[in-house]
Amino acid sequence: MKASDLLIFALPVILLLFLFQSQRRRQRTFTSLQDQLAAGQEVVTTSGLYGRIVSLDERVVVLETGPGQTVRWDRRAIASVVPEDSVVPGDAPTPPADPAPDAQNDEK
């Protein structure tokens, strides 16, 4: 058997091993995330919806998306937990209201 024949056989085997290893790593990360979910956490779903976990069980998670608005999601749709120090879109601080008009503007 020539070295080139061995390379032709070994290359696809190595590629398959790499693919299986990366899939196993993703599965461990997903399982770890699912095990760490708890009520009160800010999360992002796979479709990009931000919400706070109100309750969860083995299959369903209830998210609060706004004051008094809750939605039910399949637990597997939770993509990540939002770090506490990051700003969630829509939760950015609102700019201060316009100050009272100056006395100089009234003199015109």
Residue 65, domain member (yes or no):
yes
Residues 26 and 42 in one domain: no
Residues 26 and 63 in one domain: no
Q: Give the pair of three-digit tokens for residue 53.
A: 């976990």
Residue 90, domain member (yes or no):
no
Residue 46 Cα distances to 1, 73, 107, angstroms: 49, 11, 57
How many structural domains compose the chain?
A: 2
- Lowest-confidence segment of 15-29, 46-60, 62-76, 78-92 by average pLDDT: 78-92
Residue 3 Cα distances to 11, 15, 16, 48, angstroms: 12, 18, 20, 50
pTM of the model: 0.63
**Spatial CA neighbour of 42 closest among 100, 90, 9, 103:** 90
| pLDDT tens-place string over residues 9-52 | 889 999 999 999 999 999 999 999 999 999 999 999 999 999 99
